[in-house]
Homo-oligomer: A and B are copies of this chain.
Amino acid sequence: MTGAGEDFEAARLTVRLGAIVANYRTYCRMTGPCAVAAVVKADAYGMGAAAVAPALAGAGCDTFFVARLAEGVALRGILPQARIIVLDGAQADAVPALLTHRLIPALNSLSDIAAWSAAANAARTTLDAVIHVDTGMNRLGLAADELAILSGQSAARLSGLNIVLVMSHLACGDEASPMNAQQLSRFKQALAMLPPAPASLAASHGAFLGMEYHFDLVRPGVALYGANPQNTAQNLMQPVAILTGKVLQIRGIDTGDSVGYAATFRAKRPTMLATVALGYADGIPRTLSNTGAAAIAGGRAPIVGRVSMDLITLDVTGIDVAPGDEAELLGDTVSLSEVAAAAGTNEYEILTRLRRMPRVYEGRAGQTT
């Protein structure tokens, strides 16, 4: 791939770093005096961690969550001083790289705890650690039986470890589910069973469930990148990802003519089509076939026919469109939540698919990658 900003690029993702910072500050205002970390896993939800993380650090964020160890290693090269927490844990084969790159594992099991404590003791040092307790996701984190064992033997099992955070994760934080209160209650019980330490339960959505979910640190992820953390209210977040593609060709077709693979669209009237340089390899879900829409030349144009790998076809009848015009498939007009709903998925999956895109970073000098 060539660098961003080449004028021959037919499609582009614009990432508004200023909007990410503004969204981060919205969380700081809302949850203060609680600390606000940033989740930048999955390459900052597809937006590019190498540009996003420094922008957030510049806004005062000093704690970052990643999923994979490899993501943590890469982020350490970008942020030499930040606190970087690796959610995947501390399996024995991960320990050397965690140490080398000064990463803090989220310890998900007694086995993770044993591996990390052994590393501390072998080095005759104290290592920072996060304890992740499961309160109902049944995905990662200490199960209730493991927590009971740890509670009874915490001095021995946590030998050499400085617990900087005890965390858990909500399964239904984006809805008004009784499971939220249940997980909150279990989390408080878990905290009471462990040595005193800062605590964190809420991610993007959970922070809006009320102050009792905030504890010492909230850790927004998807909302930083523009998703609405309150499904039933106006979006307080600013749009971050602007996905545009150029019109490659315009053509008129007649009533009855078909469009695209498997001829799934047939024109009911003489129709003007615009073929745009964006497809599912660029992250336009194939489920938007004959369903999604684009903003173009001041109008709104439905996607007709199947989304193909590199191209989509819009019905631009009645809109004054020319080759070279840009169509917005995601942005200020076609919102992230609209695209997710039309595609039958969530905002997270839409964002994390935007990976091939050449990209331009707005709002911070010197951070174009």
- A residues lining the B interface (CB < 8 Å): 1-2, 6-11, 41-43, 45-46, 67-71, 73-74, 87-89, 91, 93-94, 96-97, 108-109, 111, 134, 136-140, 143, 171-172, 175, 177, 179, 246, 248-249, 251-253, 257-263, 273, 275, 277, 279-281, 286-287, 305, 308-311, 313, 323-324, 344-346, 348-349, 352-353, 355-356, 358
Contact = CB atoms under 8 A, between A and B. Distances in A.
Chain A facing B: main interface SS: loop
Nearest to A304: B138
A94 B277 CA distance: 13
Nearest to A97: B8
B108 A352 contact: no
Contacts of A67: 277, 279, 281, 309-311
Contacts of A68: 9-11, 277, 310
A345 B279 CA distance: 14
Given A7-B93, A261-B172, A275 B70 contact: no
Contacts of A260: 137-139, 171
Contact of A258 (B94, B171, B305, B353): B171
Count copies of this chain in the complex: 2
A313 B287 CA distance: 24
Contacts of A89: 248-249
B309 A41 contact: yes
Nearest to A98: B8
A287 to B, nearest CB: 8
